[in-house]
Structure 1
Amino acid sequence: MQVEGSPYADGGGRSIWAAYEAVSGNIKDGSTNWVADDEYHRYAEDIGHMSELDINAYRFSISWPRVLPQGKGQPNEAALAYYDKLIDALLAAKITPFVTVYHFDYPDALQQQGGWLNADSSKWLADYAHLVASRFSDRVSNWLTINEPNILWGFGAEAGAMPPALKLESAQLAQGCHNLLLGHGRSVQAIRAAAKKPVKVGLPFAGTLSLPASNSAQDIAAARNASFSVEKRAIIPLQPAMIMMNNSWWLDPIYLGHYPTEGYKLFPSAEKLATPADMRLIHQPVDYCAINLYFAPTVKAGADGKPELVPDSPNAPRSHYGWAITPELLYWAPKFLAERYKKPVLITENGISLADAPAADGKVHDPQRTAFLNSYLGAFKRAHQEGVPLAGYFHWSLLDNWEFSQGYLERFGLIYVDRNTQKRIVKDSAFRYKEIIQTNGASL
């Protein structure tokens, strides 16, 4: 949705964003994703830029309603052929494709049947995953099931700030969450069953971890406890706290095979959902702990040892989006996740939104993003040097893209995109990223 544009080209179907973006005010700048970055037509140009920057892997999403306009049933051959061309072009450029099966663009036809509250919803996702794995697994070895289920369900079904724009009570939130987790488990099974060669599978989760205020054992323990406690969390400024914004409620079932028992205080109905058969289905073998990381609060140990929030300084640096800049997140989050879940950590998103614009010389000078790369990847390097098992890093994002409810207001890209002409300009930060890639971090 964020880069391809042309969602209805060649027989593509409607996603739940179609009706949402038609309502005035839902997309802050009034835009739609009908053009986005026009990668549907410009993928060859963008792969050329990846090669120029020595990027060796590209994470992209397959559009569910593009491939299955009704969400299930007869596939759209033209859509499958598009992804054939994209994958082949990446491989020809020696760039490894990492495929995300489902990334927010839920088919509207399935939403009309109850969406994630329908008892068959996990099977719908698994059938779609089986279809795309059958088609592409002769060339694609790395698969990601559901992008940020906590965000799509928390913002979409608890806060009503994303489609399907619902505000559900605890029992229905727990049911939809459980169905999403079942969808992940069934999709892992489906991908492995369809795979034509060995595959690696994971789920890219929006991490809401905490940082310790100091290196004291007490503060580190407080940060670890805060990271995995089940409680209402507000993750961005001016956003109400949400009960879906937890790490362990979603991740413990995937990696450990059970819900954290403290979570039943918030979700008492979930105890009946957590049958042994369902938990076995959710707890499929996965190959890495995939995580999207941007910012984190800092906590210290209170008088009783319990985590106590340390308020941000009024002068703390922030992105254009308003998110705090907290480089140490790429040290502590992989460390905490690897300790708890015993999997190598794959950073599937990490980046910064800035108010980028071409300068008088026609180039885009973005020293703040360059500093971001240096500091965050420096912390990631420290984690590696201390033996934290790491599986890789993907910067968000290659291109300035369509940022869902923010429209085109945020620019996350290493490459600037002119919204009127679609002209691409490689930013200064991209050349620094190339240097980090070429030296495998030695230049950090």
Structure 2
Amino acid sequence: MSKLLCVGNTEFFLHAFGRALRTVSEYKSSQDRFRDRFVPAFAHRDFSRLWRANLGTTMSFWMQSIAQGWLVVQLTDSPFVLGLLAFFRSIPMLILSPFGGVLADRFNRIRLLLGAQVLMGGSGLAVGILVAIDVIEVWHLALAGITIGASFALSVPARNALVSDLVPRDVISNAVALTNTTMNASRVVGPTLAGFLIGIIGIAGTYFAQVGGYVWSTLNLLTVKGGDDHPRARGSTLGALREGFGYVFRTPIMLALMLLGMSPALFSMPMIMLLPAFVKQDLGAGPEDLGLLMGALGVGAVIGSLMVVTYAKHRYKGPVVLMSAFTFGALVIVLAFTRSLMVSGLVLFISGFFQAVYMATNQSIIQLLVPDQLRGRVLSIWMLSWGLTPLGLLPMAVVAETVGTPVAMVMGGVLSVLVVLGVMIWNQGLWTIDPEQVLADRDEESRV
């Protein structure tokens, strides 16, 4: 009898163990199907590590932006100073980005990123200490802004070019969309967290907290194995720059994509820099509300990025870029007329969605069309849009100081919409471009 019970128990446990193994196998299979369908880029370990590193960097960047914005409002209560400091942080991107592209095409891209992490984390730590000992001045923030801007300018082309180094061509669109998701997800976590931390541990504590993101990013970058196996740019620095700019100006589709990337950055994006003044002066709200509004913008952007991730291989990338850029500019105009937190949050949520869609899709097309040997330099030209923001921000800050932030927002939104309409009319090829097919045709020609 005991022998029968023993056999029965053994069969029961073997059956249960077999079912457990099948359940685990089915769960793993469903995970694999989900990954292959929606996030195939995550199947490549080095890309996953780069993605985590980007998340830490961008979250720290947005935390630092909110902390600095609220600090400036406390110190000066001036939209112009707010815009001026954003100018100091962004202008190095306009001047140094092309040189960052040359560096990305000549040197180990991971080492470039590691150097930038040290500079950005160190500047945030220094400002936190100055705030803690109560000796912070506006010129300190300007110097820190220049350091961060220069670090971004010299490293972001390498960061973007690495995406194509670490994944096969057939998942580049998915990888680009996931990379953009890091910035948009950080807009949810970073500003919201910064807003609450300012209220709990103060501005100095918030600066110290964001340094942790740079440490996390550095640890992940140290585990990435790629970054040194790309075609190298030859010749002089100026010759390499001319080659990159020449390619863009000789290729109408590429020039149109650059204009679409730059016009919202020049005219619409400054509204984010002026948001602290808009929140305090026009909405009568505080830092926690500013964090929530930035979080709403970020949530919309995350959803927009996930939409691009899901439909990364669709054929209608050109029309999507055109219509989403147009809508983003129009929503900036709508935001200027809002006077309640709820309505402002809703408009920012929708704005974030369309901003993420146009940015991710725009960069995906560029990544697919650009030749490998020019990737870093062309992406650095695309990144000039980040440096153009202060050129639009300074006049908008003057207008905001003189007649109010809402008027400046309307001005920027109208100009952005007009530029997008001009590109729509000038380059009809964007309505029908299929970058995956162009890439397939190019590969076929190279094999022949």
Please indicate, yes or no, whether the TM-score normalized by the shorter chain is above 0.5: no
Which protein shows a greater Rg? 2
Which range, TM-score by smaller chain? under 0.3
Q: Which has the higher helix share?
A: 2
Whose relative contact order is higher, 1 or 2, with alpha carbons under 8 Å and at least 6 apart? 2
TM-score by length of 1: 0.26
Q: Which has the higher strand share?
A: 1
TM-score by length of 2: 0.26
